[in-house]
Amino acid sequence: MSEAALLTIDRAERVFGGGRTIFGMPKPAVHAVQDISLEVRKGETLGVVGESGCGKSTLARLIVGLDRPTGGSITLDGRDIAADAGNDPRALAKKVQYVFQDPVSSLNPRKTVRTILTAPLVHLIGLGKKDQERRLEELMEAVNLAPEFLDRYPHEISGGQAQRIGIARALAADPEVIVLDEPVSALDVSVQAQVLNILDGLKSRFGLTYVFISHDLSVVESVSDRVAVMYFGRIAEIGPAREVFANPRHPYTHLLLQSAPAPGRKSLVPEDANTELPDPYNPPPGCAFFARCPNATHKCKESHPPLEAKSGEATHLAACYHPHGGEEE
Ligand SMILES: Nc1ncnc2c1ncn2[C@@H]1O[C@H](COP(=O)(O)OP(=O)(O)OP(=O)(O)O)[C@@H](O)[C@H]1O
């Protein structure tokens, strides 16, 4: 682990299903996340982008301890997240928080905003009554909402306001890391910008670290310091956001950017490409992008290329035998 890494993912894998039936027949298994290794440094935003079904949400759930890896490990500050989620979930929740995609349904419809935000203050921080009031006001101010909203129910506020409450709830525990899973995808574009601005301000104000998951390239480009491009459960490419967007090495990243040219890329990872994804119950031995790749050779079909630097830039890695814009293997 490099000195500054806060979050370290080491060969993480999550397989759903598998094993054997009572008759000894193998049960099908989905490899949702395979062999993912990366580090997130304190204070940075790692964007994770990929099309539907590539494993983004599974990865997010592993990072916050809502699910545990079937292989490899994920550590925060050197502590194993899956172990902490089992032994001391409150301590873990004080360090890492999750913001969900659908803001309204992520809030309990029968509870006021005040009750929703008070819960983590009491259960995670153990704040007394007087301090709760002060902290509630601070949280509302942080997400730019008037204190009157504290007495509303989720159905009485807009989607953007609900997402700000979701962010305030994540902030309540004063965490180090927030995993944002498609936090603006359900919002109108004008509201998206407001929420992204708030997130940006909170990050510098509270020294937060973000893992920002989205299938929207323009959003990821605008918020990320580094970007990981996922394809079929694996990292296809990872590097500084500027590098990855200006000089994509993996043919998949290249394809994504070609279909969404800058500036103001219009900008969703193609959902219809799903039909071309390999069968998740039967992952291919080689590169999963093989069938769609203009550069593919026999070697790509036979073995999976390692994720490694393809040029002088040691922080820009791609899992490809025939990367764009450089030497080939
Ligand atoms: N609980 C589960 N049981 C079985 N398979 C699952 C489970 N959760 C996810 N999967 C499978 O794992 C793969 C990755 O799913 P995941 O939801 O992580 O992808 P995603 O990139 O977040 O997609 P989306 O953006 O559509 O949510 C998919 O093939 C999915 O069907």
Does residue 325 sit within a domain? Answer: no
pLDDT at 276: 67
Q: Which tokens in the block code for residue 203?
A: 């990050």
Residue with token string 């039909």: 275
pLDDT at 1: 43
**pLDDT by position in tens, the chain (length 329):** 445 799 999 999 999 988 888 888 888 889 999 999 999 999 999 999 998 889 999 999 999 999 999 999 999 999 999 999 999 999 999 999 999 888 888 899 999 999 999 999 999 999 999 999 999 999 999 999 999 999 999 999 999 999 999 999 999 999 999 999 999 998 998 899 999 999 999 999 999 999 999 999 999 999 999 999 999 999 999 999 999 999 999 999 999 888 765 656 655 555 544 446 788 888 889 999 998 898 999 999 999 999 999 777 889 999 999 998 755 55
Please, what's the b/e burial string for 199-218 (b: 16 or more CB within 10 A of its CB; e: otherwise)?
beebbeeeebbbbbbbbbbb
How many domains does the chain fold into?
1
CATH number of 207's domain? 3.40.50.300
Does residue 328 sit within a domain? Answer: no
- Complex ipTM: 0.94
Q: Which tokens in the block code for residue 297?
A: 């050779």
C-alpha dihedral, 115 to 117 to 121 to 122, nearest 10° = 20
Q: Helix or strand or coil: residue 52? A: coil
The response to whether residue 55 sits with its C-beta less than 6 Å from ligand 1 reads yes
Does residue 323 sit within a domain? Answer: no
Indicate which atom in ligand 1 lies nearest the CA of residue 280. Answer: 29
Q: How far is CA 197 from CA 204, 234, 322, in A?
A: 11, 30, 38
126 Cα: distance to centroid of ligand 1 (angstroms): 35
Q: Helix or strand or coil: residue 165? A: helix
Does residue 324 sit within a domain? Answer: no
List the one residue out of 32, 72, 36 whose CA is nearest residue 52: 32
Q: Which tokens in the block code for residue 221?
A: 């480009």
Q: For atom 17 of ligand 1, which residue has the closest CA?
A: 57
Q: Helix or strand or coil: residue 10? A: strand
C-alpha dihedral, 61 to 288 to 267 to 159, nearest 10° = -20
d(CA 181, CA 112): 23
Residue with token string 């089992």: 86
Q: For atom 16 of ligand 1, which residue has the closest CA?
A: 55
d(CA 309, CA 312): 7
CB 62 within 8 A of CB 76: no
Mutate to test the pocket of ligand 1, among 34, 57, 98, 231 (most ligand atoms within 8 A of CB): 57
Q: Which domain holds residue 204?
A: 5-318
Q: How far is CA 134 from CA 113, 164, 193, in A?
A: 15, 18, 28
Q: For atom 4 of ligand 1, which residue has the closest CA?
A: 16
d(CA 116, CA 208): 22
Does residue 327 sit within a domain? Answer: no
254 HSE (CA, 13 A, CB side): 16
What pTM does this model have? Answer: 0.91
